[in-house]
Amino acid sequence: MSELFTIFISMALVNNFILVKFLGLCPFFGVSKKLGSALSMSAAVTFVMVAASAATWLINNYILIPFGVEYMNIVMYILIIASLVQIIELFIRRTNFALYNVFGIYLALITTNCAVLGITLINTNEAFSFIESMVAALGAGVGFTLVLAIMSGIRERLELADSPKAMKGLPIAFITATMLGLAFSGFGGIV
Amino acid sequence: MAGFVREFTKGIVISNPIFILALGLCPALAVSNTIDNALGMSVGVIFVLLGANIIISLIRKSVPNIVRIPTFVVIIASFVTIVSLVFQAYVPALHESLGIYLPLIAVNCIILGRAEAFASKNPVTASIADALGISVGFALALLLIAFLREILGTGGLEVAGTSLFTLPVLSEHPLALFVLSPGAFLVIGLLLALFRRIGAIKHE
């Protein structure tokens, strides 16, 4: 149990996907201007990360490893993630249209989000068990959500702030990310 | 020939993937901590983009429109697998230090973006020029960031295990922030602001 907790904290805070591992930066700089859309986006990413970790774990351990074709994992994982996202999108559209309206549009973007492929590759490299992969994916998703939410709040203020002309927009967002990254590096000692 | 040169230079300056289009930021930030990593990553991206652009341009007329994205993704992922296996066999240390960022070339938006926006609509020679231009532009940006981070963060420069030079004061008191992850955000943010200030990048 404590091992699972360690994995969770390590993924969410110490090795934060956005600030430390630089995974999923496109939504971080792209959609993070409004808190509402940032939360919907990160909910969708978290959900897909957990589902993709489960699917790729099963494929890796029951197909790729027994047949000795682990080197095919990049191609396989991308195909699994792409088809999984399609299935989830179809399923949500049929069963819960309100939910589809909230994060359906983000689902299509998630296929090429490096955070999703990243977590599946990390699970494989670390040789996590099924439960450990789930917890790692959930932790990574929570860390992603946390940073996206903090950043969207800051960027709403930044829009109105009187920053130097050359700094407006993307550069100041990078500098803000530096500060956030420094703050998060304070978590370094806890695991 | 003039067309070839135009497509090539376009990628380096006018549509530099990192500084102008802000694409492919994940590897730009993650592997720009040392010049060695940046060089390795650049070689990987040049190979994958060139290979993918050539193949996609060759088969562009026989791929049905509705399955083009999955087709492109599989072609790109296959080239990434080749790069990954070659690196693992010949430069294992580099393969180790690039870690998951090497396989992540497969979902790098620059590569799928070029496949979709250029190679699927243009003949082979133009696609080769486009691939070379964009990937050299990416490599130059990555090397510039890595150069600054390594000098400020370690006080010297080391390529393939041999030290090129060390700076007197900085090597005794290196600014370790720059090789850590927040340093990557800082360097890119300041470079972007600098390029805007001197007018190299137009304001939106």
B180 vs A174: CB contact, 8 Å cut-off? no
Q: Angle, to 10 degrees, between the axis of helix B2-12 and the axis of helix B124-154?
A: 30
Chain B interface, best mutation among A174, A179, A185, A187, by max B CB count within 10 A:
A174
A27-67: per-residue pLDDT in tens?
Answer: 777 766 778 778 888 888 888 899 999 999 999 999 888 88
A116-156: per-residue pLDDT in tens?
Answer: 888 999 999 888 899 999 999 999 999 999 998 888 888 88
> Domain map of chain B by residue range?
2-140
* Range of lowest pLDDT (A111-115, A167-171, A180-184, B69-73): A111-115
Residue written as token pair 């996609």: B56
From residue B20, give the alpha-carbon distance in Å to each of A149, B41, B203.
26, 20, 10
Rounded to the nearest angstrom, the minimum Cα separation between A2 and chain B is 26
A114 CB near a chain B CB, below 8 Å?
yes
What ipTM does this complex have?
0.84
Q: How many Å apart are CA A9 and CA A15, to the nearest integer?
A: 9
The number of beta carbons lying within 10 Å of the beta carbon of residue A167 is 20
Judge residue A143's burial from the number of C-beta atoms within 10 Å of its C-beta, 0-12 exposed, 13-18 middle, 19 or more buried.
buried
Q: Which of A79, A118, A171 sits opposite B189 (nearest CB)?
A: A171
Rounded to the nearest angstrom, the minimum Cα separation between A84 and chain B is 13
Buried b (16+ CB within 10 A) or exposed e, B7-30: bbebbbeeebbbbbbbbbbbbbbb
The number of beta carbons lying within 10 Å of the beta carbon of residue B149 is 26
The pLDDT confidence band at residue B200, using thresholds 50, 70 and 90, is: low
The pLDDT confidence band at residue B51, using thresholds 50, 70 and 90, is: very high
The pLDDT confidence band at residue B105, using thresholds 50, 70 and 90, is: confident
The pLDDT of residue B89 = 93
Q: Which of B108, B180, B197 sits opposite A166 (nearest CB)?
A: B197
Q: Which residues of A touch B178 (CB under 8 A)?
A: none
Q: Residue B184: CB partners within 8 Å, gap ≥ 6?
A: A22, B28, B29, B30, B32, B33, B145, B149
